[in-house]
Amino acid sequence: MKSLFYHYRKFFIGLIIFSIVTLSLIYSQLKPAKTLPIYNPADVNPELVDSTIQYKSKYHTIADFSFVNQNGDTITQKNYEGKIYVADFFFTTCGSICPKMTTNLAEVQTAILNNPKVMLLSHTVFPETDSIPVLKAYAIKHGVVDSKWNLVTGDKKKIYEMARKSYLAVKLGRPDQLYDMVHTENFVLVDQKRRVRGFYDGTKKEEIQRLLADIDFLSEKE
């Protein structure tokens, strides 16, 4: 038996290699391809969506916007044209979830620093107190790289509309106060076509890893 195997050893080795390659190809064909959902208002918790668009089940995209960043520069959708980006809502004096969210978003910034396809966009929900100098000080404190990450302020009504009509990510605040908002822990992933592709708990490390994996997926796909 030994001599038979030795005599045909090249054949058996070739057969084993062929079997491994064939099985690998079959597995890769049968393995489901990774996909990311495209979120519309009807897919999301209605508490986070403006009542006027809760019915919408397709073709949802991020609306045009115009805000001012930590450097006093006007930031619009054109700054994010063709980009993948992560959006969130915060305020600089928040002492609960914001510090953890900002720390985690800074880690995302580090991970995407050399990826020209990806940016970050943080909106204050308290524009009345988060002035440009306040945002600048906050940016410096947390190592914000201006070319990758904009912290923006502006008209509260416009921020409210973006939060609840575009990003589908912010709860209502006091019903007696117009445009009052309670930001959530959500990081929102937006693709190159301005579509919402994912929501992530910005306070959890495992969610940050999932976000980074989905960013890589979108980066490689386009």
Task: Give per-residue pLDDT as tens, 111-138.
Answer: 999 999 999 999 999 999 999 999 999 9
Placement of tokens 């080795």 in the chain: 13
Question: Residue 185's Cα: distance from chain center in Å?
Answer: 12
Q: What whole-number distance in Å separates Cα of residue 179 and Cα of residue 126?
A: 11
Band of residue 18 on the pLDDT scale cut at 50, 70, 90: low
The Cα angle at residue 196 between residues 42 and 95, in degrees rounded to 5 = 95
User: Mind listing the pLDDT tens digit for each residue in 143-182?
Assistant: 999 999 999 999 999 999 999 999 999 888 776 665 677 8
Asked if 109 and 145 count as a contact pair (C-beta separation under 8 A), the reply is: yes
* Residue 7 is assigned to a ligand binding site: no
Given a cut of 60, whether residue 2 has pLDDT beyond it is: no
142 is in an annotated binding site: no
Model pTM? 0.83
What per-residue confidence (pLDDT) applies to 183? Answer: 81
Residue 75 tokens read as 């930031």
Judge contact between 4 and 11, C-beta under 8 A. Answer: no
Q: How many CB atoms lie within 10 A of CB 134?
A: 18
Whether pLDDT at 49 is above 70: yes
SS3 94: coil
* 64 vs 191: CA distance, rounded Å: 15
Cα 57–63–66 angle (5° rounding)? 160
Q: What is the dihedral of CA 151, 156, 157, 159, to 10 degrees?
A: 20
Structure tokens at 121: 């966009």
pLDDT at 38 > cutoff 70: yes
Burial-class residue 103 by CB neighbours within 10 Å (0-12, 13-18, 19+).
Answer: middle
From the centroid of its chain, how far is CA 69? 19
pLDDT tens for residues 77-103?
999 999 999 999 999 999 889 999 999
Q: Does the pLDDT at position 202 exceed 90?
A: yes
Instruction: Determine contact, residues 215/118, Cβ cutoff 8 Å.
Output: yes
Torsion of CA 144, 189, 155, 104, to 10 degrees: -30
